[in-house]
Amino acid sequence: MIVIVSNRVPEDRVSEIIHYIEKHDLSTHVSRGEDRTVIGIIGKADPMVAEHLRQMKDVEQVVKITKSYKLASRDFHPLDTVIDIKGVKIGGAELTVMGGPCAVESPKQIDEIARLVKMAGGQVLRGGAFKPRTGPYSFQGIGVEGLEMMAEAGQKHGLLTITEVMTPEYVDVCAKYADILQVGTRNMQNFDLLRKLGTIQTPVLLKRGFSATYDEFLNAAEYILAGGNPNVMLCERGIRTFETYTRNTLDLAAIPVLQNLSHLPVISDPSHGTGRRELVEPMAKASVAAGANGLIIEMHTDPDNSMTGDGVQSLFPDQFAQLLQDLEKLAPIVGKNFQTAKEPILAGSWAI
Ligand code: PEP
Ligand code: MN
């Protein structure tokens, strides 16, 4: 249930309404918009309490929310959430680009890719140190050493960093080194992991499970929010369909759907969403046109020899840079702010 109060109502009156709600063993979540304040009620309110609230002076409306997720919903929180990480804003009118390899492989590899992400105008360096591989014999990532290498590269080149965390036990060490923690598609409903991420304040990029409905996805985000971490981004990364030509089917409609249902920033991953290099650029542009708040893109200096199988979907550095330049032109047309570094990256000009 939400209680809507006009912003003309004095603050102490709003506090009285909140006090009345909390007296009945309910908790509240307050969201202040431009014209109205929304008091979200968490817990099941007695019909008598609901009726009393309806009759209260200064209460504009009492609306029953039937959705199972509350804190993630736009009903509870009408304005877009904008997450500020060391001055980089994610959400609202900002367009954020995260780029980098599937996995951190060596200090030289991650340092060179970080340099190229920065030169192209990206704001966040991606790279996995713990990889969720389908088979147990595949390369599993280089672990904590990889986190150290990526943190160093990020700092040196002035980029934020994002890395995947797979288990609750590794949340603290990953949060020590990275600015954003990624929950992979295979762990979207790893509830112990989500609960643990709710206990910290480090921003989380939650990837949609490859068979998850929007409702399941938003409920997964709700676990993190309900634990007390408000810094959650949603990531559409493709879902499993009958099509085999592409690795996954990037659900472009998920972008506006999630933005209608939720206030959280929506990031698109056209790399895992298609699994094919030639489709990354058009799907990245389509995602921005559909309103995405950001992109997470795999880029590698030597994709043919990358240590995971994701080289086939990784852009070369010059393709990544060209895409960002194009996005700079597209962004204002769809109401987004984005600026590239405008430094050309010539084909083959990077170290391997
Ligand atoms: C990744 O980002 O490299 C990754 C494994 O993503 P996903 O969980 O979407 O497959
Ligand atoms: Mn990958």
Instruction: Give the pLDDT confidence of 208-248 residue by residue, as tens digits.
Output: 999 999 999 999 999 999 999 999 999 999 999 999 999 99
How many angstroms does the Cα of residue 298 sit away from the middle of ligand 2? 7
Does 272 contact ligand 1 (Cβ within 6 A)? yes
Of ligand 1's listed atoms, the one at least distance from the Cα of 310 is: 3
For residues 120 and 345, is the Cβ–Cβ distance under 8 A? yes
Structure tokens at 157: 């080149």
Does 126 contact ligand 1 (Cβ within 6 A)? no
- Quote the CA–CA distance of 4 and 40 in Å, as a whole number: 9
- DSSP string spanning 173-218? HHHHH-SEEEEPGGGTT-HHHHHHHHTS-S-EEEEPPTT--HHHHH
Q: Give me the pLDDT at residue 206, please.
A: 99
Of ligand 1's listed atoms, the one at least distance from the Cα of 103 is: 3
Counting ligands in written order, the one closest to the CA of 247 is: 1
Mean pLDDT (whole number) for 121-135: 96
Residues 296-326: tens digit of each pLDDT: 999 999 999 999 999 999 999 999 999 999 9
Ligand 1 probe mutation, 181, 182, 186, 272, most atoms within 8 A of CB = 272
Q: Which stretches does DSSP call E strand in the chain? A: 2-6, 27-32, 36-42, 59-63, 83-85, 88-90, 96-100, 124-126, 160-164, 180-183, 204-207, 232-236, 266-268, 294-298
pTM > 0.85: yes
For residues 3 and 15, is the Cβ–Cβ distance under 8 A? no
In this structure, what DSSP letter does residue 247 have?
S
